[in-house]
Amino acid sequence: MPHTPGLAPQSAAPSPSTAKAALLPLGAMLLAGSLNALAQTAPTAEATLSTVTVKEQAEPEEVKAKNTLRATESTIGKGKQALRDIPQTVTVMTERLLDDRNLDDFREVLKTTAGVTFMAGETGEEDIRLRGFSLGQAGDIYVDGLRDAPLIERDTFNQDRIEILKGSASMLFGKGSTGGVVNQVSKQPFLMDQHEIDVTLGSGREVRVTGDFNLQTGPDAALRINALAHDADHHGATVHKQGIAPTYRWGIGLRDEFSVGLYHLDTDGTPLYNHPWYTSDGVIIPTLPAKNYYGLASDYLKTQSTYATLGHIHRFGADTQLKTTLRHGSYERDLVASVVRFGQTNGAATNLSNPYNSSTPITRTPKGRIGFSDFTQLQSDLSTRFEAAGIKHELIAGVDLSLEDAQRNNSYAEAASGLTTTVGTPNDGAVNPNGRPPLVLNTFKTQNLGVYAQDTMALNERVKLIAGLRLDHFKSAYRAPANGSNPEGRFEISDTLLSPRFGVLYQPNERQSYYASVGTSYNTSGDTYQFALGAFVPNATTGAISTNQRIANTPPEKSRNFEIGGKFEVFDQKATLGVALFHSEKYNERNTDEPTADSYLLSGKRHATGMEFNFAGRLTPKWELFYNHTWIPTAKIDNGTTTGNAQREGDRPALTPKHSASLWTTYRVAPLWRLGLGLNHRGKQSPEGNRTLVAQAFTTVDAMAEYTVNEHTSVKLNVTNLTDKLYADSLYRGFYAPGAARAVQVSLKHLF
Q: Is the pLDDT of residue 48 over 90?
A: no
Q: Is the pLDDT of residue 256 over 80?
A: yes
pLDDT, tens digit (0-9, with 9 covering 90-100), for 656-683: 999 999 999 999 999 999 999 999 999 9
With pLDDT > 70 as the criterion, what percentage of the chain qualifies?
A: 84
Between 39 and 499, where is the model more confident?
499
Q: Is the pLDDT of residue 121 over 80?
A: no
Output the CA torsion 37→40→44→50 (10° steps). Answer: 140
Output the CA torsion 103→107→113→114 (10° steps). Answer: -150
Spell out the residues 6+ positions from residue 215 whose beta carbon is closer than 8 angstroms to its own: 193, 195, 222, 223, 224
- Give 181's strand partners: 165
Cβ burial 410-420 (10 Å sphere, 16+ → b, else e): bebbbeebebe
Q: Is the pLDDT of residue 191 over 70?
A: yes
Between 10 and 115, where is the model more confident?
115
What's the full length of the chain, in residues? Answer: 752
Q: How confident is the model at residue 532 (pLDDT cuts 50, 70, 90)?
A: low
For residue 492, the tally of other CB atoms under 10 A from its CB is 12
Residue 442 near residue 533 (C-beta atoms within 8 A): yes
Q: Is the pLDDT of residue 13 over 60?
A: no
Res 490: pLDDT: 80
Beta strands 116-120 and 728-731 are parallel
Alpha-carbon span 182 to 91, nearest angstrom: 10
Res 550: pLDDT: 56
Distance of CA 297 to the CA centre of its chain: 30
Res 601: pLDDT: 62
CA distance to 5, 27, 164, 694, per residue, from 650 (Å): 46, 30, 29, 16
Spell out the residues 6+ positions from residue 85 whose beta carbon is closer than 8 angstroms to its own: 1, 3, 456, 464, 505, 513
Mean pLDDT calculated for residue range 461-486: 89
Residue 243 near residue 227 (C-beta atoms within 8 A): yes
Q: Is the pLDDT of residue 298 over 80?
A: yes
Residue 531 near residue 545 (C-beta atoms within 8 A): no
Between 451 and 21, where is the model more confident?
451
Mean pLDDT calculated for residue range 361-368: 93
Find the helix or strand (DSSP H, E) in which 130 lies.
strand 126-130
Q: Is the pLDDT of residue 598 over 90?
A: no
Res 3: pLDDT: 43
Res 564: pLDDT: 98
Find the helix or strand (DSSP H, E) in which 569 lies.
strand 557-570
Q: Is the pLDDT of residue 535 over 60?
A: no
Q: How confident is the model at residue 285 (pLDDT cuts 50, 70, 90)?
A: very high
Residue 155 near residue 230 (C-beta atoms within 8 A): yes
Q: Is the pLDDT of residue 43 over 60?
A: no
Between 534 and 391, where is the model more confident?
391
Question: Hey, what amino acid is at 313?
Answer: I
Output the CA torsion 124→125→129→133 (10° steps). Answer: -100
- Domains present along the chain, CATH in parentheses: 16-751 (2.40.170.20)
Residue 428 near residue 421 (C-beta atoms within 8 A): yes
For residue 264, the tally of other CB atoms under 10 A from its CB is 17
